[in-house]
Amino acid sequence: METMWAPWRIEYILAEKEKGCVFCRALETQADLTLYTDKDVLVVMNKFPYTNAHLLVAPARHVAGLEKLGRDEMGQLLYMVDRSMAILKETIRPDGFNVGMNLGKVAGAGIEEHIHFHIVPRWFGDVNALAVFADVRVIPEHIRATYDKLKPYFGNMKQ
């Protein structure tokens, strides 16, 4: 039998869970894994990624639906999705992306009170028998290494 190790998960398992919105906390405190913030939008790495470099892009304003955003906010949100994908293309070279939003709990929203886009980089062959039969994902790089790779690119963006 093969053993797969994910030692960074124990930190989450044992930690006291913070209350409040993770996106608002990231905006206010530049919380762990925050790549970019400005007055309209923020980009954070997903602590529980589907694949390596799974990013979350959210409006700075705490809103639960697209209809609550102004035209400028919506434009900035989509612009940052595009810029984030460009950075990922340059740094980790995925073969494609899944990009989307889960709106409402029934649609799979884990944080339904603050809308956000998921940017999930994809590579040929990244879905294999482990995911299908064992409900296991293999993330090939430690999340801190990915953060360190991406942060300078987001840091160089004009706010």
Indicate whether 5 belongs to any domain.
no
- CATH of residue 70: 3.30.428.10
pLDDT tens, position by position, 140-151:
778 888 888 888
Q: Where are the beta strands (DSSP E) in 16-134?
A: 34-37, 41-45, 55-59, 96-100, 117-122
Give how many domains the chain has, as a whole number: 1
pLDDT tens, position by position, 100-110:
988 777 777 67
Residues paired with 56 in a beta bridge: 44, 118
Rounded Cα–Cα distance for residues 159 and 141 (Å): 29
Indicate whether 6 belongs to any domain.
no
Indicate whether 3 belongs to any domain.
no
Collapsing DSSP to helix, strand or coil, 140 comes out as coil
Indicate whether 77 belongs to any domain.
yes
pLDDT tens, position by position, 18-72:
778 888 888 787 778 899 999 999 999 988 788 889 999 999 999 988 999 999 9
Indicate whether 7 belongs to any domain.
no
Residues spanned by the domain of 72: 18-155
Q: What is the DSSP letter of 44?
A: E
Q: Are 36 and 152 in contact (CB under 8 A)?
A: no
pTM above 0.85, yes or no: no
